[in-house]
Amino acid sequence: MLPGFGLSLGYTLVYLSLVLFIPLSALAIKAMGGGWHTFATVLTSPRILASLRLTFGSAAIAALVNAVFGFLTAWVLVRYRFPGRRILDAIVDLPFALPTAVSGIALTAIFSPDGPLGRALAGIGWPVAYTPSGVTIAMVFIGLPFVVRTLQPAFEELASELSDAASSLGASPAQVMFKVVLPLTLPALITGFSLALARGIGEYGSIVFISGNLPFKTEITSLLIITKLEEFDYTGAAVIAVVMLTASFALLLAINLLQKRSLKWLARKQG
Amino acid sequence: MGAVPAFRFNGVRRTLLTAVVLFLLLFLVAPLVAVFSEALRKGLGAYFAAFTDPAALSAIKLTLLTTAVVIPLNLVFGVAAAWCIAKFRFPGKTLLISLIDLPFAISPVIAGLVFVLLFGRNGWLGAWLEAHDWHIIFAWPGIVLATTFVTLPFIARELIPYMQEQGRDEEEAARLMGANGWQILFRITLPRAKLALLYGIVLCNARAMGEFGAVSVVSGHVRGQTDTLPLHVEVLYNEYDFSAAFAVASLLTLLALVTLVIKTWLERRGVHATRSA
């Protein structure tokens, strides 16, 4: 028998309590402290509702964009051999590694009306920076690696013989993609989508520069928490935080259930 | 019959590849280029002046200091957690692993908020701290706490699967030969897991130096005192000192690029990333 079980487990639990559990219960208790009335006031405040709509809506759109482009990126990186592939593969993790404030100002520089791309897009009537589109763009940036990195192992496991067999039996590339590849990697795609979604909902740094933070228009929920704190409205800040956490946990739970169902469906299909 | 579908597939291939490369150039390469071109817009003199500014030096110092405290804290935690989870069986293990992952699912702003609720002026311990003239929020300890919270999982979640995969045969053999627990840990377990350990430390370091949301909530933005590097970037940017903001940002970008290089190198040596939000 190896020694140290009690010590290591004890240390782990004490550390987790000090750093995570006690602070998080402080949040819950503070939010409850105001009673249901405070919850109702916060939840019906038009400014907060607008921010929740913006945050969850943009995160959903960004996760969908990432589901499509992340799927294609992972596919190309796993299946194709081309010069520069390894560099592209390594750089997919850039949004993980780059501090969010840096991503934020860099994206703003590109998409602001003074930036090269921002000027062109504004020219065709699609201003990005300081609009809800800017929020979505930042969330696409920050969520991309989650989809790519969840799908890559799934594509690697998916034997290439399978799609080769399908195409040699006369399936068109589209048939191979939609009848073989997509169904088999759907659970991984759903996982990647939900991770990107969760990250988008909680994201702050890469968004606040490009969004412009106009109340009712481009103000994300995380920023409202900071606004409440600056007004020393601790209860208000805690209530928004609890609403946000509950909503994103519920969302993740729902998506987990969906993923389990799609796995079952997959097993039935294969069996 | 064979030639036509093959040609068509090549067309699909080329289109896909072009679309993906363009998408990655736009979303990943363009921000990198933007950071360095904006940083150098006013020339090399202005670029280096951004680092000799006292506020920048103080931000660099605070960032290094914070990281130097946070990494050892999460390192000891990671080793302890990995030891009990990877080498023993006990009820509630799965729950414990998901609890360790919790900070990944929580918005960084909320991570900062919880410490303000505890230690802030109107917080639970606020009055008591004030009576003793101790400062946590709007001071260095708050920055360390918030950074510890957001980077807590990094080392543990790399070590746990790696040490689980390695089993416990070697440790048990050492135990039979009379080694004590610390000898086993320092001479067998940790040396065997050194790549995963390094991987976790590199990721923890990148996040600790770059954390913005959580630190922004607890720092109070006292220039030259409680601004870390990312906060200093924000301050410069909001003062419309763009070339200095991007110069400091380029330093953080270099850190990110070095992180990616080490990460890729370690992955080629068989360390696998564990993914979660």
Per-residue pLDDT of chain B (277 residues; tens, 9 = 90+): 333 444 445 787 889 899 999 999 999 999 999 999 999 999 999 999 999 999 999 999 999 999 999 999 999 999 999 999 999 999 999 899 989 989 988 999 999 999 999 998 888 898 899 899 999 999 999 999 999 999 999 999 999 999 999 889 999 999 999 999 999 999 999 999 999 999 999 999 999 999 999 999 999 888 888 999 999 999 999 999 999 999 999 999 999 999 999 999 999 888 876 654 3
* Interface touch A101/B234, C-beta < 8 Å: yes
CB B172 within 8 A of CB B155: no
Q: What is the ipTM of this complex?
A: 0.91
Q: In 10 A of CB B5, how many CB atoms?
A: 15
Q: Give residue-wise pLDDT tens across range A18-72.
A: 999 999 999 999 999 888 888 888 888 999 999 999 999 999 999 999 999 999 9
* Interface touch A98/B31, C-beta < 8 Å: yes
Whole-number Å distance between alpha carbons of A95 and A105? 13
Kind and range of the H or E element at A42?
helix A35-44
Whole-number Å distance between alpha carbons of A208 and A230? 16
Facing B27 at nearest CB: one of A80, A144, A150: A144
* Interface touch A99/B210, C-beta < 8 Å: yes
**Angular region, A181: left φ>0, alpha ψ -120 to 50, beta rest:** alpha
Query: Going by C-beta distance under 8 Å and a sequence separation of 6 or more, which residues neighbour residue B25?
Result: none
Sequential DSSP letters for B222-270:
-TTTT--HHHHHHHHHHTT-HHHHHHHHHHHHHHHHHHHHHHHHHHHTT
Tokens 């740094």 belong to residue = A205
- Residue A220: burial class (beta carbons within 10 Å; 0-12, 13-18, 19+): buried
Helix axes A132-157, A182-202, angle to 10 degrees: 140
- Give me B194's structure tokens: 């050194």
Q: Is the pLDDT of residue A249 over 60?
A: yes
> What's the pLDDT at B62?
96
Q: In 10 A of CB B73, how many CB atoms?
A: 19
Whole-number Å distance between alpha carbons of B237 and A220? 20
Compute the half-sphere exposure of residue A266: CA atoms within 13 Å on the CB side of its CA. Answer: 16
Highest mean pLDDT among A6-15, A35-44, A79-88, B45-54: A6-15
Task: Using an 8 Å CB-CB cutoff, list chain B residues near A76.
Answer: 16-17, 20
Closest chain B residue to the Cα of A79, Cα to Cα: B13
Q: Give residue-wise pLDDT tens across range A138-161.
A: 999 999 999 999 999 999 888 777
Task: Using an 8 Å CB-CB cutoff, list chain B residues near A24.
Answer: 114
CATH of domain A35-270: 1.10.3720.10
Whole-number Å distance between alpha carbons of B193 and B181? 16
- Which candidate, A30, A34, A31, A243, places its Cα nearest to that of B124? A30
- SS3 string, B45-92, reads HHHHHHHHCHHHHHHHHHHHHHHHHHHHHHHHHHHHHHHHHHHCCCCC
Task: Using an 8 Å CB-CB cutoff, list chain A residues near B107.
Answer: 201-204, 222, 241, 244-245
Q: Predicted confidence band at A228 (pLDDT cuts at 50, 70, 90)?
A: very high
Helices (H) and strands (E) in chain B, counts: 16, 0
Tokens 């639990």 belong to residue = A13
The predicted model scores a pTM of 0.92
The full set of domain ranges for chain A reads 1-31, 35-270
